[in-house]
Amino acid sequence: MKISNILQDSKVSESVTVSGWVVTCRKQKNMSFIKLNDGSCSEGIQLIWDEVDIGDSSQQNMIQTGCSITVEGVLVESPAKGQSVEVQVNKLTIIGSVDPDKYPLAKTRMNLDTLRNYLHLRSRTANFGNVFRIKSAISHGTHEFFKKERYLHLDPNIITVNECEGGAGVFQVTEHDLTDANKLPIKDGKYDWTKDHFGKPVFLTVSSQLQLEAISCGLGAVYTTNKSFRSEHSSTSKHVSEFTHLEIEDIFIELESLMNVGERYIKYICQYIQDNCNLEIEGLNGFISKGIKDRIETIKNATFHKITYKDAIKLLQSSDMKEKPNDGDDLSSESENWLTKHFDGPVFVTHWPINIKSFYMKQCDDGTCESFDLLMPYKIGELIGGSMREDSYDKLISIMKQKKIPENGLEFYTDLRKFGSVPHGGFGLGIDRLCMLFTGMENIKDVIPFPVQYKNCE
C-alpha cells in the first residue's frame, strides 16, 4: 500500500503492509523507530517495533538510512507528537540494503549545490520530494485550467525546419556520428544534408508557436506543454538548454484578453497548489524556502500591473539604477527586478519596439508591436512572452525580409495569412520558472529532475 493511501484511508488497528526507503532509523534499548517514505506524500510514516522477527540479528544492523524495506504491521494511534498514526511492526524484510559508508545521502545534510552531484538520488530527499510533487501539481493544474477554459491540448513536432524565434540558438539534428569528420558526407566543402535522415537541415524546436498557430487557425484555442530547446551560451540561474514550455494560441482575441488568460492561469495554479500541496508548501516554508506560503497567497491576490514599454523606460530612466536602459534597449534583469519592486507585484510590459522583438508580432503604426512580457517579482523576472500575431500577409512578408528571415520552410506559416487570415495571438510561459516561483528554489536546475545546461549534460 502507498503511504499516502494508508494515511488517508486506513483505520487504526487495521493490518497494513508498507514499503519504502528508510529516512531515519533510531534504535533504543527495547524499541526502534524508523521514518519511512515511499515518495507518495510529504510526511512519510513512522514505524515502531520492540521485538520483530526480521531474521538473524545481523539484519538489524542492515537497517540504514537509504535502504528499502517492506514491513507488515498494525496501524496504531501515535502517542508522540509529529504524527497521528504509526505502524506497529510485526515483520520487516530488507529489500535493498545500502552501505552507509558509500551511500552519499547517508548522514550529513547537503546543500543544494552539492546535491546536484547526485541528481539520481536527490528525489529521495524531503526537499526535492516537495519540489517535484509541486511541479507535478503545476502540470495537473495546467491541464485542468485549460480544459475548463476549453482549450485543446495538442503537441506539435519537436524536430522542425524553422528557427521560430530567430536569435535564440538552435540545435541541429543529424543521424550521423560527427566524431570523425572524414567519414561525413561532404559536397563542395560543405556537409551534404541530402545524405542525412531528412535530406535537409533540421533543428530541435525553440518554440512550438508557429505550428501551434497553424492548428489554432482551424481549431481556435489550443495549447502545448512541449519541451523547447535553446543553445544559448549562458548558465544563469534562469536558463536551461531544454525547458518545459507552456504555449497557448487563440483566435479572435485581443492583447488585453491574452494577458488576462495569463493572469487567470497563474492565480489558478496558486489555488491548485494550495488545495493539493499543503504539506509540501509547509515543508518548504519551514526550512529551505521560508516565506513561500505567504508568497503563493500574495500572488493569488496580486494586482497584475500593465505598463507600456515606453512608460517603463521613462520610469527606469528616472530611477536611481546605476545602468539605466535607453529607449529601444531590451530590459536587463536588473531593470526587470526594479519594475516589479516599484509596482510591488507582477507587471505586464506591453507594446515593445518591433526592432527588438520577433518577426511574427503584430505591428502597430508607431514602430511598436502588440506584445507583452510578464515580469514576476522574487527575482523571477520574465515568466511569459506573448503577442498578437501579424495577420496581414504583406506586412509579414515585408518584415521577414527586413529581419532576414528566410521564407523557405515557412511557407506554411505565410499561407495562414493567404487563406482566410484571422486575428490571433498567444504566449509562451516557462513552466520551470513558474515552479521556481512557487517553490522558492532560486536555481532553475533545482526544479528540473535532470537539468541540461550549457557545458553541463550529465
Give dist(CA 243, CA 135) in Å, integer.
13
Q: How far is the CB of 398 from ligand 4AD (least distance, A)?
A: 20
Question: What is the SS3 assignment for the chain?
Answer: CCHHHHHHHCCCCCEEEEEEEEEEEEECCCCEEEEEECCCCCCCEEEEECCCECCCHHHHHHCCCCCEEEEEEEEEECCCCCCCEEEEEEEEEEEECCCCCCCCCCCCCCCHHHHHHHCCCHHHCHHHHHHHHHHHHHHHHHHHHHHHCCCEECCCCCEECCCCCCCCCCCEECCCCCCCHHHCCEECCEECHHHCCCCCCEEECCCCHHHHHHHHHHHCCEEECCEEECCCCCCCCCCCCEEEEEEEEEECCCHHHHHHHHHHHHHHHHHHHHHHCHHHHHHHHCCCCCCHHHHHHHHHHCCCEEEEHHHHHHHHHCCCCCCCCCCCCCCCHHHHHHHHHHHCCCEEEECCEHHHCCCCECECCCCEECEEEEEECCCCEEEEEEEEECCCHHHHHHHHHHCCCCCCCCHHHHHHHHCCCCCEEEEEEEHHHHHHHHHCCCCHHHCCCCCCECCECC
Q: Does 445 bind ligand 4AD (CB under 6 A)?
A: no
Letters for 143-182 (x = contact with ligand 4AD by CB under 6 A, - = none) are ---------------------xx-----------------
Among 432, 436, 437, 447, binds ligand 4AD (CB under 6 A): 432
Q: Does 73 bind Mg ion (CB under 5 A)?
A: no
Q: Does 441 bind ligand 4AD (CB under 6 A)?
A: no
Of 424 and 433, nearer to ligand 4AD (C-beta) is 433
Q: Does 280 bind ligand 4AD (CB under 6 A)?
A: no
Q: Does 433 bind ligand 4AD (CB under 6 A)?
A: yes
Hey, which residues between 202 and 241 contact ligand 4AD (CB under 6 A)?
A: 207, 209, 230, 232, 239-240
Number of amino acids touching Mg ion (CB under 5 A): 1
Size (the chain), residues? 458
Q: Does 430 bind ligand 4AD (CB under 6 A)?
A: yes
> Which amino acid appears at position 175 of this protein?
E
Q: Does 262 bind ligand 4AD (CB under 6 A)?
A: no
Q: How far is the CB of 381 from ligand 4AD (least distance, A)?
A: 8
Among 73, 129, 377, 385, binds Mg ion (CB under 5 A): 385
Q: Does 425 bind Mg ion (CB under 5 A)?
A: no
Q: How far is the CB of 431 from Mg ion (least distance, A)?
A: 15
Letters for 284-323 (x = contact with Mg ion by CB under 5 A, - = none) are ----------------------------------------
Decide which of ligand 4AD, Mg ion, none touches 386; Cβ closer than 5 to 8 Å per partner kind.
ligand 4AD
Of 65 and 207, nearer to ligand 4AD (C-beta) is 207
Hey, which residues between 384 and 413 contact ligand 4AD (CB under 6 A)?
A: 384-386
Q: Does 20 bind Mg ion (CB under 5 A)?
A: no
Cell output for 270: 496558486
Among 302, 427, 441, 451, binds ligand 4AD (CB under 6 A): 427
Q: How far is the CB of 58 from ligand 4AD (least distance, A)?
A: 50
Q: How far is the CB of 107 from ligand 4AD (least distance, A)?
A: 34
Binding site for ligand 4AD (CB under 6 A): 164-165, 207, 209, 230, 232, 239-240, 243, 245, 247, 382-386, 426-430, 432-433
Binding site for Mg ion (CB under 5 A): 385
